[in-house]
Amino acid sequence: MAEKTHEFQAEVAKLLHIVAHSLYSETEIFLRELVSNASDACDRLRYAALTQPELTEGDSDYKVVLTVDNGAKTLTISDNGIGMSEQDMVDNLGTIARSGTSNFVDQLTGDAAKDVSVIGQFGVGFYSSFMVADKVEVISRKAGENAAYKWQSDGMGAYTISDADRDQRGTTIILHMKKDAEEYLDPVRIRHVVRTYADHIALPVVLKATEEDKEDEVLNTASALWTRPKSEITEDQYKEFYHHTGQAYDSPWMTLHSKVEGTLEYTMLVFIPESQPFDLFSPERKSQLKLYVKRVFITDECDELVPPYLRFLKGVVDSEDLPLNVSREMLQNNPVLRKIRSGLVKKVIGELEKRAKKDSEGFHKFWDAFGAVLKEGIYEDAENGDRLLKLSVFKSTHGENYSTLEDYMGRMKEGQDTIYYITGDDMDALRKSPQLEGFKAKGVEVLLLADPVDSFWLSRISEFEGKALKSVTRGTAELDKLDGDEGDGKKDDKDDAEGNLDLLVAAFKQALEGRVKDVRISKRLTESPVCLVADDGDMDIHLERVLKAHKQLGGMESQRILEVNPGHPLMQKLQAKAELGGASDTLSEAALLLLDQAFIVEGEAINDPVEFSRRMANFMAQGLG
């Protein structure tokens, strides 16, 4: 095959530029990434050989070999894993072939400290080679195939692929070291990096003998970290294993390492990250855990192992009871896997409950990152949904801090038998919502729910410990039966004005016929002139907006009720006009203008912006006149 030249994918080209120019303070990570990739290649061949033993060609002694050539100024990392075909090289070394690549490019800033974390999140560690090498060669032969190929690049925008010679399967990476990276040709430096970052690798990492060293040297412990007793594992070792298995650069927020024995045996070494991975809200909602059977890697795409609402978990689950030749089809609806999943979920929720009680501040940081995902379980997990709801924390009108539902109940007003909430897209907008005015005046706390999932779990949960959950944007406010302080100590003249708005309400109903379900006097408004609410039997305003945005309403969009504030000066002046028996056009225009205003406050588009602008200009002109 003649040598072929390929251009890097645009995302890779930008990444390589940042790697080459910005990340020198973190150069040693290149060796961790390449050794980790080599280990993964061996894991994948070990699994493939369960059903295709001919792939190993009698060589099942998996290892990673590091070779230093001081004369040529090269460092070579070689493995006898699954290897790559020509197309694999294009897919794996020239493309970031994962979802979210545009998101990836957006996050690359050129700031070294920030971009190290981003690169780790996206699992593109191979490109860290160009931090230390001005040319990289990759020679690989895929297991079960005879052809070998050579990939070569200087990291400047293009790469070549050509035929190569390689007697055995696997991959060899040859790094032609830059002048300022020749420290990595020193065996002492290599030993330090491998023992620091790759001691957990479950196969030997061998330093090839040089002229000075007569024998090859195994640099790592070479046993699966999760099989060791917890007392023998340091925090740094846990952290490096998390980096390896989770393709992450942050620190784990929580580490769960336990072995379950009895009728079912399995070991779990699971981490909760400190920060969100880039694909946390990807529609696929894929699991991040790796499944092993008797220390043999099976798959890292086992969605049956953990529910989607725990997809932020990273780490390993190793089963003693699944067959080694378990297939993807066998994993689906497997009773052993279902029991492991149940035990894992209970363990994680239990540890979160302990942390929430022991360290509320730390738990709130976790909630900032993963609360919106965990709440999916309230809606989806019938078995654990109630525990998750009790664990959940929320912002409210009580202050800036998080509160549990139990905290809320402890602050409820005398006579209050309902937990009130409001849903929306933005926390600041929720705090300013006109529907909250009457509740604030009465000193009644309202939960502020700004995650998209909130509208969905609330459609399944109607009460908590005997107290009904109710949206302040639906039905009547029911504030009359609550004892409370008026917010500013002033007498509310709403009651005095209510009986005087009959003519205005009738005029508004006539003007808005077909546009709203009803017009009525508001019990919840104290400052704003109008607001929109849903009728008791209708869908919550925000849930309907979410479903509409995803085209899932199916033509079931409902009309809203327009509530008017009888104590507002504008309403009283409009009522006065109504009592004069004329100015019907003015009242109709006012009704339409106020309806559009109410839609704008709700964050919804108005039907006719041009007409809204015209009405607004006319009313301003009348006022100035």
Predicted confidence at residue 108, as pLDDT, reads 53
431-445 pLDDT per residue, tens:
999 999 999 998 999
Residue 604: what residue type? E
User: Mean pLDDT over residues 26-30, rounded?
Assistant: 80
Cβ contact 122:278 at 8 Å: yes
Residue 145: what residue type? E
Q: In angstroms, what CA-CA distances link 355 with 231, 251, 361, 383, 392?
A: 21, 17, 10, 21, 13
Predicted confidence at residue 22, as pLDDT, reads 54
- Closest-CA residue to 540 (of 387, 420, 390): 420
Q: CA 165, CA 252: separation in Å to the nearest integer?
A: 43
Predicted confidence at residue 475, as pLDDT, reads 82
Record the tokens describing residue 342, joined without a space: 């149940």
Cβ contact 565:530 at 8 Å: yes
Confidence of residue 224 (pLDDT cuts 50, 70, 90): confident
The three-state secondary structure class of 268 is: strand
The three-state secondary structure class of 561 is: strand
246 vs 507, more confident: 507
Predicted confidence at residue 59, as pLDDT, reads 85
User: Mean pLDDT over residues 540-552, rounded?
Assistant: 79
Using the predicted structure, report yes or no on whether residue 569 has a pLDDT greater than 60: yes
Residue 128: what residue type? S
Cβ contact 118:128 at 8 Å: no
- Closest-CA residue to 310 (of 219, 386, 384): 384
- Closest-CA residue to 471 (of 459, 480, 485): 459
Going along the chain from its start, the domains and CATH numbers come out as 4-221 (3.30.565.10), 226-364 (3.30.230.80), 393-624 (1.20.120.790)
Cα dihedral value 533, 534, 539, 542, nearest 10: -10
431 vs 157, more confident: 431
Predicted confidence at residue 495, as pLDDT, reads 52
Q: CA 293, CA 319: separation in Å to the nearest integer?
A: 5
Dihedral sign computed on CA atoms, order 97, 102, 103, 109: positive
478-516 pLDDT per residue, tens:
777 776 554 444 445 555 555 578 889 999 999 999 999
Helices (H), 231-270: 235-246
Q: CA 280, CA 306: separation in Å to the nearest integer?
A: 14
Helix axis angle for 360-374 and 335-358, nearest 10°, is 140
Record the tokens describing residue 304, joined without a space: 């049956």
Q: CA 479, CA 525: separation in Å to the nearest integer?
A: 11
How high does pLDDT run on average in the chain?
86
Using the predicted structure, report yes or no on whether residue 454 has a pLDDT greater than 90: yes
Q: Kindly give, in sequence order, each residue whose CB lies less than 8 Å from that of residue 265, ignoring residues fewer than 6 positions away.
A: 259, 319, 320, 321
- Alpha carbons within 13 angstroms on the beta-carbon side of residue 468 total 6
Helix (H) or strand (E) holding 192: helix 187-197
Helix (H) or strand (E) holding 401: strand 399-403
Question: Could you tell me the pTM of the whole model?
Answer: 0.76
